[in-house]
Chains A and B, each alone.
Chain A
Amino acid sequence: MKFGVIVFPGSNCDHDAYHVISKHVGQPVDFIWHRDTDLSSYDAVIIPGGFSYGDYLRAGALARFSPVMNSLQRFAAKGNLVLGICNGFQILCEAGLLPGALIRNRDLHFICEHVNVRVESAYTPFTHELKAGSVLRMPIAHADGNFVCDDATLDELRREDRIIFRYCDRDGQPTDAANPNGSRDNIAGICNRERNVMGLMPHPERACEDLLGSSDGRDLFRSLAGTLAAAA
């Protein structure tokens, strides 16, 4: 089982993701420079948070044209696992691997705080060790996390159980007050139709050690590793 963490110019959570995979998941992991195109030795690829290309044009818009992205499209089409965190989620949307788009936060602020998210579906390779309905505490750190999509897309996401995380209050209620950025339907994370590509705005990799305020993110990476172990 081998993980890869893609590094774009401007990625800044690449080391956090690497640390979690090597220390908490205990598996081999490589950094993959965005100009590399060979993903054949990896079982799962993480697109980390940060500000690829300085968020120029739109968040994630220019990263989509990096050489590694064509390989990633093929990697994902084969059913391999792809996890996009924060900027990674934005890149996956821009690349068309996930539906919708992430625009400027409702209140325009860059928000850096711990939020509560409810697990909406445990039926993904990334969340099967989590319990649907449970509340996780994870940090967000973004200016463009406001998820938007049209009505037809929202219907499809709901119908196909593809909304994986929603912002909620401490009791698990997805209220407007608990929605930090104005995301439609309080959406914090979604997956593709085949369920092998998931993106989320909160940072599970920054919530894996009690010292950092929460270790709720660990089960997500355990799920991911569990899926790969079962497939091996």
Chain B
Amino acid sequence: MKAKVYVTLKPSVLDPQGKAIKHSIELLGYNGISDIRQGKYFEIAIDGSQTAAQAREEATRMAHDVLSNPIIEDFRVEIEE
């Protein structure tokens, strides 16, 4: 089983890296991009003894306590069985 955790900056937090990436992509001629926000992605391999619900609960705690900083970031957890 695999937990996938997506960590993204809160909408209210400026993302200078995303802005720089957007600028570079526009230099390549891509038009019509209104915004790019950079985030982080984690894949957590979980051994088979857990139920999906347990895995989701654990991954959510890990995301809250370690993988994200709740002051500046949001996160989303997906479980892949």
Seen from chain A, the residues whose Cβ lies within 8 Å of a Cβ on chain B are 57-58, 61, 65, 93-94, 99-101, 103-108, 146, 148-150, 182
Q: Is the CB of B66 within 8 A of A101?
A: no
Residues of B within 8 A of A103 (CB): 13-14, 72
Give residues 5-33 of B contacting A (CB, 8 Å): 12-14, 16-17, 20
Residues of A within 8 A of B20 (CB): 108
Q: Is the CB of B69 within 8 A of A101?
A: yes
- In the bound assembly, the distance between CA atoms of A57 and B71 in angstroms comes to 15
Q: Is the CB of A101 within 8 A of B71?
A: yes
B46 touches A (CB below 8 Å): no
Residues of B within 8 A of A150 (CB): 12, 71
B1 touches A (CB below 8 Å): no
- In the bound assembly, the distance between CA atoms of A100 and B71 in angstroms comes to 7
Residues of A within 8 A of B14 (CB): 103, 106, 148, 182
With most chain B CB atoms within 10 A of its CB, the pick from A58, A61, A149 is A58
Residues of B within 8 A of A149 (CB): 71
With beta carbons under 8 angstroms apart, the residue of A57, A107, A182 that contacts B67 is: A57
- In the bound assembly, the distance between CA atoms of A148 and B10 in angstroms comes to 12
Q: Is the CB of A61 within 8 A of B66?
A: yes
Nearest chain B CB to A105 CB, angstrom units = 7
Q: Is the CB of B69 within 8 A of A108?
A: no
Nearest chain A CB to B50 CB, angstrom units = 23
22 contacts between A and B (CB under 8 A): A57-B67, A58-B69, A61-B66, A61-B69, A65-B66, A93-B71, A100-B71, A101-B71, A103-B13, A103-B72, A106-B14, A107-B16, A108-B17, A108-B20, A146-B16, A148-B13, A148-B14, A148-B71, A148-B72, A149-B71, A150-B71, A182-B14
Give residues 51-66 of B contacting A (CB, 8 Å): 66
